[in-house]
Chains A and B, each alone.
Chain A
Amino acid sequence: MSAGEALMPPAGDPAGDETTVPADAGRWGRLRRSPTFLLAASLVALMTAVALLPGLFAGLFGNGDPRECDLARSGMGASAGHPFGFDMQGCDLYANVIHGARASISVGVLVTVASSAVAVVLGTLAGFYGRWLDGILSRLIDVFMGFPFMLGALVVLIAFPSGSIWSVSLTLTLFGWPTLTRLMRSTVLSVRELDYITAGRALGATDLRLMVRHVVPNAVGPLIVLAALTVGTVIVAESALTYLGVGLHAPAISWGLQLSMAQNDFQSHPHLLLYPSLFLSVTVLGFILLGDSLREALDPRSR
C-alpha cells in the first residue's frame, strides 16, 4: 500500500449527497444540448417509427408488400421501384428489410427492458443488503450464467419451438438478466461504501430512500451503457439463434432471418447481407449512443 492509496476513494462532497445529485431539470437541459443525444435519439426514434409503421415506410417506392415474390427475379440487383433489389425468393428486399425492423427491434427492446428491470431490482437488493440475499442471488446467477447461454437457449427453444417474438424474447431474457444483474450488483457493492451513503444512513434515511434516491442513480450508469449495448447484442443474438434454426421462423420477417438466409448466397449476392446488416448496425449505433449520452446525464460525477 503506497501513500497514494489514501486518495483512492472518491472524495465526494463532504457536505452530503444533495448537492452531488443534480436536479432533474439540469439533467434534461444538459441532455437536450448534447449533439450525441440528439443524433442517437433521432436514430432510435426513426427506427422505432419504422418498427411501428412498417407499411408507411415500405410503400415509399411503390412495392411495399414484402410477400409479393416472383422467383424469376431471384437475387436480382436494384431496379426502378426496388432500390435494394430482390432476395433469393424474388421478394422486394427493401420492403423486407423495412418490415424486418419490427421483429428485430421488438426482441431487442423487450429483452433489454425486462432484463434491466430484473437487474436493477435484484442487483440493488443483493448489493445493498449483501449477506444471505446476496449469497442466494449470486448462486442463482452462477447457475444461470454457468448455463452457457447458447446451450440454455437451444434447449429451451427446442423444447418449446414456437418461433415467435414472445418465446424468443422470453428465452433471451431468461439467460440475459444475470449479466446485467451481476454488473448492477458489483457497482452497487462499490457505491454503498461511498461516504454520502454511509452519511445518509447515519442520518436515519430509510433503506428504500437510500436505494431509490442515491444507490440506484449512482450505480445505474454502467448498467445503462451495457443495456444500450444489450439491445444491439440481443438483436444479433436473435440472428444467431435463427442461424442455428431455433430462433424466429418464417413467416416472421426479421433482420436475423434475412442475415442467416443470406449466409449461403452473400458471395455472389452481397446486397442480401449488406442491407440488413446496415439497418442492424445503424440501429445498434443509435442505442449505444443513446446509452452513452444518458450515462453522461445520469451520472452525478461527470460534469
Chain B
Amino acid sequence: MRRYITMRLIALVLTFLGVTLLIYVLVYALPGDPIRGMAGDRPLPEGVIAELRARYHLDEPFPVQYWYYVQGVLRGDLGTDFNGRPVAELMADRWPVTLTLALTAWVLELVAGLALGVLSALRRNRVLDRVVMILTIVAISVPIFVIAYTAQLVLGVHMRWLPISGIAEGWPRSYLLPAVVLATFGIASVSRLVRTSLIENLDADYIRTARGKGLPSRKVVTRHALRNSLIPAVTYLGADLGFLLGGTLIVEGVFNLPGIGQLLFASIQQQQGPVVVGVATLLVLTFLVANLVVDLLYGVLDPRISHVRR
C-alpha cells in the first residue's frame, strides 16, 4: 500500500511537469500578439509594444520563455500578468471563491444525486422514478447558461429570493444559486448512475439470496446493494470535483463570481501565458489529488479491488 502511494506521488509530480509544459506550448501556439490585442481598438504605439514584449520575454523563442517560467517557479515566483500583477496574488484572491462554489455544488451532487438515484431505483417505474427521469433529461438537455440565466431571472430578479450576482453576501446566500446551477448536470448524472447500478445489484443473485435468507430489506439495500452500487457514482464524483473546479467558468461569468474560472477564461482570451499555466496547473494538481483519494476509496468500497500487487 505504501509503495502504491509512493508510486502515485511520483507519477503526480511527472504529470505536473508534463501538464505545465503542455499548457505552455498550447498557450504559446495561440495566434497573434497578446500585447497588441490587449488594447482592443486602441492601438498601442510600436515602441510601447516592443518594450512590453521584451519585458515579458515574448520576443524570445519558446524554450527560453519556458525556461524563464520554470526558473521562476523554482524560486517560488509564478510570474505576472501583462499588467504586472503577480499570478500568485491573482490566484490567492480568486481560488477561495471557486473552491467554495465547487465544493458546495459537489456536496449538492453527492446528497441530491444519491438520494434521487436510490429513491428512483427503489420505486422503479413508478411516478417518482418517472419524475426524476424527466427532471434528469431536462437538466442534461438544457445548456448550463440557459439554466443559469433563467434561475437568475426568476429567483434573483423577479422573486428576489437570492442575490443576482456577486459574492457580497458571502456563503451560503451568494453561492447557493450558482452552486445549484453548477450541480444540476452532476445531480442528474449521479442519480442515473446510482439508479442503474442499484437496480442491477438489486436484481443480482446474491441480493436475492440475502433476501431469501430473510435479511431485512432495508439492511440488504444499505449494506450490500447500495455499497456495491456506489462504485460508478464514486468514480464519477471523484472525477467531477476536478470538473467542477475547472467548469465553473460559465457559472462564474453569469453570476459574476470572481473565481479562477473567470480569471482563466479572460487569461486564455488575452493569452496571458503565466496566468493560464498557473491556474491550470493548480486545477490539475487538485484533480490529481482528488483522484488519488478516489482510487484509495475503491479499495474500501469493494474489497475485491486491491492495490497490493499479486
Contacts and interface: CB of A to CB of B under 8 A. Distances in A.
Direct contact of A and B (CB under 8 A): yes
Interface of A: 2, 4-5, 7-12, 135, 139, 142-143, 145-151, 154-156, 158-159, 179, 182-183, 186-187, 189-190, 193, 221-222, 225-226, 229, 232-233, 235-236, 239-240, 243-244, 256, 259-260, 263, 266-267, 273, 277, 280-281, 283-285, 288, 292, 295, 299, 301-303
Contact of A158 (B14, B141, B189, B268): B268
Contact of B232 (A159, A222, A236): A222
A12 B205 contact: yes
B75 interface: no
Contact of A299 (B26, B145, B189, B200): B200
B140 A146 contact: no
B142 A281 contact: yes
Given A10-B204, A190-B305, A233-B185, A151 B283 contact: yes
Chain A interface helix/strand/loop/mixed: helix
B206 A155 contact: no
Contact of B141 (A10, A154, A189, A277): A277
A11 B137 CA distance: 35
B296 interface: no
A8 to B, nearest CB: 6
B177 interface: no
Interface string B174-186: 0000000000010
Interface of B: 7, 11, 14-15, 18-19, 22-23, 26-27, 29-31, 136-138, 140-146, 149, 153, 185, 189, 192-193, 196-197, 199-200, 203-206, 209-210, 215, 219, 223-224, 228, 231-232, 235-236, 239, 242-243, 245-247, 249-250, 261, 264-265, 268-269, 276, 280, 283-285, 287-288, 291, 298, 302-305
B268 A236 contact: no
B277 to A, nearest CB: 11
B140 A186 contact: no
Shortest 4 CB-CB contacts between residues of A and residues of B: A148-B246, A146-B284, A281-B141, A284-B141
A206 to B, nearest CB: 21
Contacts of B11: 135, 139, 142
B243 A301 contact: no
A158 B197 CA distance: 39
Contacts of B153: 267
Contacts of B276: 151, 155
Nearest to A240: B143
